[in-house]
A and B are shown apart, each in its own frame.
Chain A
Amino acid sequence: MPELLAVSALGLMLSLFLGLLRVLRGPVAGDRLLAMQLIGSTGVGLLLLLSLLLDQTALIDVALVLALLAAVAAAAFTGQELETRDD
């Protein structure tokens, strides 16, 4: 059912676009970052869908890397506060 997969992919892209509105709107950095996390995992879902839809198994690996690195950004964002309090 490639049609249905394509529509699903469009649904995810729409969801990602809505998430982007929150990244643009903020208001604080935490809001932007959490929206980043959401579009990150939406991106993982979209890549997996596309891998099936476009017949590109390599996109699964892209999704894997994206999934693993998503947390690094949040860690860097909150980790910095720990050091700022230091000095």
Chain B
Amino acid sequence: MTAMLVLDILLVLSLLSLATAALATNDARRSVILFMAFGLVLALAWGRLLAPDVALAEAAIGAGLSGALLLTAVRDQAHRALRSSRKPVHERGRANLRVTLEWTVTLLCIALAGLLAWALAQAFDRAPKDTLAQAVSANLAISGVSNPVTAVLLNFRAYDTLLELAVLLTAALGIFALGPARPGHRAAGPVFDGLARWLVPALILTAGYLLWVGAHAPGGAFQAGATLAAAAVVLRLAGRRSVGLPTGHTLHVAMVAGVSMFLAVGLGLLVLGRPFLGYPPAWAGGLILLIETAAMLAIAATLVLAFFGGRPTPAPGVAEKTS
């Protein structure tokens, strides 16, 4: 299989050159597009490494959604730069401070990377080989799902995922602190409308599929949430102010849905005399699906909030129908 070897070399070369180019440029927009290309090739690399779960997450978030988020952020930054350039600033002091700050951050990053590499090396040295993977496959039958990745994320190490959802919730609160959301987009042209017309339903269906398929094949709440969020982003780009994202209390409910469903299930099990998040094998499948559905909604809501760039406000004056 020399063909595959050459393919692998080309993949690695592409990743390295894209990463270097994305970091080396001063132009933020160029950097973002290179980063998106990097995410795309990275998804292929994960696929080649027989890790379709990661490939799916990278394709949904790395290549698609974060590109849209970053492109919007770059535009916003350009606006702000234009505005602030009109005000007089103490140029020299600022520049000195900036250089010092950049170097400090760079050194810190290098130190942190070194520390992580050292810790990883230690872990690899000491950990007995493959016992974790064996433990997962030995207990897969009682996990309620047949996809080992979902079994780990939602059952064996459900605490981790609960805390991840809490991190996302914190991020959403941080976005709220940025103030009101951006005003939105002007109505796009007819061709984009024609695209959104089929793309939005297709993305919704795909999100549902990824949620369901996560139980026995690559997929799950994170990939599904990102895909659902992409549907909302397309609606926003098509000129819809409200994109199906609720406002007020309903939005708050959606944001905490993942964490609260997790906690409700965990506490319910405690009441029934089981350990926290220790599902009875017979119910495990259903409970996991329930938690994943709530988690998908929370993840999608958080990602859409990130695209909004602030707290969504009800449309002024004309009440708009939500879709």
Contacts and interface: CB of A to CB of B under 8 A. Distances in A.
Binding site secondary structure of chain B: helix
A56 B218 CA distance: 10
A85 B234 CA distance: 19
A65 B60 contact: yes
Contacts of B52: 56, 58-59, 61-62
A87 B76 CA distance: 12
B18 A20 contact: yes
A71 B7 contact: no
B263 interface: no
B37 interface: yes
B153 interface: no
A34 B96 CA distance: 39
A62 B47 contact: yes
Interface in B19-44: 21, 29-30, 33-34, 36-37, 40-41, 43-44
A86 B184 CA distance: 10
B4 A9 contact: yes
B95 interface: no
B289 interface: no
Interface residues of B, number: 65
B188 A79 contact: yes
Contact of A43 (B18, B43, B67, B237): B43
Nearest to A54: B50
Interface in A56-87: 56-59, 61-62, 64-66, 68-73, 75-80, 82-87
A80 B64 CA distance: 16
B32 to A, nearest CB: 9
B192 A79 contact: yes
B37 A13 contact: no
B206 A39 contact: no
Q: What bracket does the count of chain A residues touching chain B fall in?
A: 35 or more
A51 to B, nearest CB: 8
Nearest to B195: A71
A11 B52 CA distance: 22
Contact of B188 (A64, A82, A84, A86): A82
Contacts of A52: none
A73 B56 contact: no
Nearest to B53: A58
Contact of A56 (B3, B47, B72): B47
Contact of B65 (A39, A62, A71, A72): A72
Contacts of A39: 37, 40-41
Nearest to A81: B75
Nearest to B33: A32
Interface stretch (B9-17, B138-146, B254-262): B9-17
A36 B37 contact: yes
A1 to B, nearest CB: 12
Contacts of B65: 69, 72
B158 interface: no
B155 interface: no
Given A20-B14, A86-B186, A68 B203 contact: yes
B43 A61 contact: no
B175 interface: no
A72 B234 contact: yes
Interface of A: 3, 6-7, 9-10, 13-14, 16-17, 20, 23-24, 26, 29, 32-33, 35-36, 39-40, 43, 46-47, 50, 54, 56-59, 61-62, 64-66, 68-73, 75-80, 82-87
Given A6-B1, A9-B7, A10-B4, 19 more contacts: A7-B3, A9-B4, A13-B6, A23-B37, A24-B18, A26-B30, A29-B29, A29-B33, A32-B34, A39-B37, A47-B55, A58-B218, A62-B52, A65-B223, A69-B60, A70-B63, A76-B72, A77-B71, A86-B183
